[in-house]
Structure 1
Amino acid sequence: MQFAMKIEAKDPDDYLSKVPNDRRNALSTLRKTLLNNLPRGFEETMSYGMIGYVVPHSIYPRGYHCDPRLPLPFMSIANQKNFIALYHCGIYADDQVMKWFINEFPKYSKHKLDMGKSCIRFKKPDAIPFELIGKLVKKISVDHFIELYESRIKNP
């Protein structure tokens, strides 16, 4: 089991400033890719010690069912001990998006897809297929994600 490298950070810029030099550029580029392609309504924040992208309470007042004080988490990026991680809740909730991503990955990367436990892992910073990640981010709107989320929890 991999454990997160906890980075205490007040905001995403602070987080990136504390990432090891050999991964900082890749994580910064990943963040820019997400921000440039993120559908309207999602917000960037710090979430669970990672850079997170959430459905804010202003759009989904119920918040996250595990802790309604928190906004609904959608995606996060993090520097882990042995890899850079992209956590994408939508890819696991939408079978069509999952199939699309698995089929597209080899077209954008010569590396084997390392995916599971709610994340996509990139062991080498230069192995991140930024163009594909940008396309993935656009696949699920806020409204679609809320529908997926509510269809999978017991009492939305």
Structure 2
Amino acid sequence: MQIPAKYPDEYISKVPEERIPYFNKLRQTILDNIPKGFEETMSYGMIGYVVPKNIYPNGYHCTPELPLPFASIASQKNFIALYHMGIYAKPELLNWFVAEYPKHCKRKLDMGKSCIRFKKPEEIPFDLIAELIQKMSVQDWIELYEKNVKKK
């Protein structure tokens, strides 16, 4: 489910009303904890957190005119999603997150390669998300991206 919006506030205004408080809190958690250098923008129809082109001019290998994506949040049909590319690219980070998740949430972890799905917004582990977001600087992400993700 894609929500058409040009700006994050516009996106949030179109999220189902019962999800808005949780979505706002998730967004604020990210904004309060994301390392310097990342920028909030609309990216791929979601609220994205990217490495801006002035820091990484090469952009994203799939679409070089776009900035390098790092994380995104979205309201999907049946859940709120957090997409974190660092989890996908760094097994140690994924292992840490999987081990920590049960300490913060009773519900079983529901995730794909980089997508963490929250079907019950009231159970989003905001403290854990804050810690996850803090774990990778812009420079860490660029180095990891160039090493593991970017097509050579």
**TM-score computed with the length of structure 2 as normaliser:** 0.97
Write the mapping of 1:139-150 to structure 2, written as runs, cut at 5 A. 139-150=135-146
1:69 to 53, 65, 68: 65
Q: Deviations over 1:28-76 (max 9, x none)?
A: 1000000000001000000000000000001000000001100000000
Cα distance in 2 for residues equivalent to 1:118 and 1:145 = 14
List aligned pairs for 1:99-114, cutoff 5 A: 99-114=95-110
On the 8 A contact 2:52/2:68 being kept in 1, the answer is yes
TM-score (norm 1): 0.95
RMSD between superposed Cα atoms in Å: 0.8
- What CA distance in whole angstroms lies between the structure 2 residues aligned with 1:96 and 1:111? 22
Post-superposition Cα deviations, 1:60-102, rounded to whole Å, max 9, x if no partner, equal 0000000110000000000000100000000111111111111
- Return 5+ residue gaps in structure 1 as ranges: none
Query: What is the identity percentage for the equivalent residue pairs of Structure 1 and Structure 2?
Result: 65
Displaced runs of 4+ in structure 1, greater than 4 A? none
Q: Does 1:57 align with 2:53?
A: yes
Matched, 1:39 2:35: yes
Per the alignment, in what secondary structure is the counterpart of residue 26 of structure 2? helix
Q: Which amino acid aligns with 2:136?
A: I
CA distance in 2, matches of 1:40, 1:25: 25
Question: Partners in 1 of 2:93 and 2:114 — Cα distance?
Answer: 14
Counterparts of 2:114 and 2:32, CA distance in 1: 23
| 1:154 aligned onto 2:141 | no
Amino acid corresponding to residue 43 of structure 1 in structure 2: E
Post-superposition offset of 1:117: 3.8
- 1:10 CA displacement: 1.4
> Equivalences for 1:5-20 in 2 at 5 Å?
5-20=1-16
Q: Where in structure 2 are there 5+ consecutive unaligned residues?
A: none
- SS of the aligned residue for 1:90 comes to helix
